[in-house]
């Protein structure tokens, strides 16, 4: 069962300064930020929905609409810090390995690739976030094939042992 607004508020003790953490929890369960949940959080924290949306849009790790159909939605940061640490080369490598462009979903529907302006974890640049929750920091071009291989393996394992998923 995906988390409810009340659960997320309780988890973070209804603290306004934990809004980002709350949004991460919601994003990771729903793969986007459902409006009803934002409204409930907004009412409880006394932060307007437009303000929450402004924050969510700034970070780009969040989506206000349900994201693509891919099993693994890769969000690669192309913000200033990640950019100077070679994120464009990593994006090129991802496109090459996945045989698709940014904004597309792979034919087997396993991978979606998007870029963001800043994911809010610049200290780990260059950074990728998978499905809004799995942060992969200091990623290198060389690591891409292994990462893709690993995710393929994970998807395969889940097919055979669906109960062993850890989510």
Residues near ligand FES (CB under 6 A): 77, 79-82, 118-119, 121-122, 125, 127
Minimum distance of ligand FES from residue 26's CB (angstroms): 20
Minimum distance of ligand FES from residue 124's CB (angstroms): 7
Q: Which is nearer to ligand FES, 110 or 135 (CB)?
A: 135
Q: Which is nearer to ligand FES, 48 or 80 (CB)?
A: 80
Burial 135-167 (b: 16+ CB within 10 A, else e): eeeebebeebeebbeebeeeeeeeeeeeeeeee
Question: Rounded to whole angstroms, how far apart are CA atoms 143 and 85?
Answer: 15
Burial 20-31 (b: 16+ CB within 10 A, else e): eebbbbbbbbbb
Minimum distance of ligand FES from residue 98's CB (angstroms): 20
C-beta atoms surrounding 94 within 10 Å: 23
Q: Which is nearer to ligand FES, 118 or 147 (CB)?
A: 118
Minimum distance of ligand FES from residue 117's CB (angstroms): 7
**If you write DSSP's letter for every residue of 40-99 in order, what string do you get?**
HHHHHHT--HHHHHHHHHHH-S--SS---S-SEEEEEE-SHHHHHTTHHHHHHHHHHHHT
Q: Which is nearer to ligand FES, 102 or 122 (CB)?
A: 122
Q: Which is nearer to ligand FES, 16 or 80 (CB)?
A: 80
Minimum distance of ligand FES from residue 23's CB (angstroms): 16
């Amino acid at each position: 069962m995906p988390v409810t607004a009340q659960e997320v508020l309780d988890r973070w003790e209804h603290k306004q300064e934990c809004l980002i953490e709350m949004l991460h929890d919601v994003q990771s369960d729903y793969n986007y930020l459902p409006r009803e949940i934002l409204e409930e959080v907004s009412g409880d924290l006394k932060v307007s929905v437009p303000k929450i949306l402004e924050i969510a849009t700034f970070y780009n790790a969040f989506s206000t609409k349900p994201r693509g159909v891919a099993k693994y939605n890769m969000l690669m940061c192309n913000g200033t810090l990640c950019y100077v640490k070679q994120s464009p080369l990593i994006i090129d490598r991802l496109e090459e390995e996945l045989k698709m462009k940014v904004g597309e979903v792979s034919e087997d529907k396993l991978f979606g690739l998007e870029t963001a302006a800043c994911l809010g974890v610049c200290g780990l640049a260059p950074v990728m976030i998978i499905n809004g929750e799995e942060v992969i920091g200091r990623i290198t071009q060389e690591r891409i094939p292994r990462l893709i291989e690993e995710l393929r393996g994970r998807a395969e394992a889940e097919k055979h042992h669906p109960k062993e998923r850890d989510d």
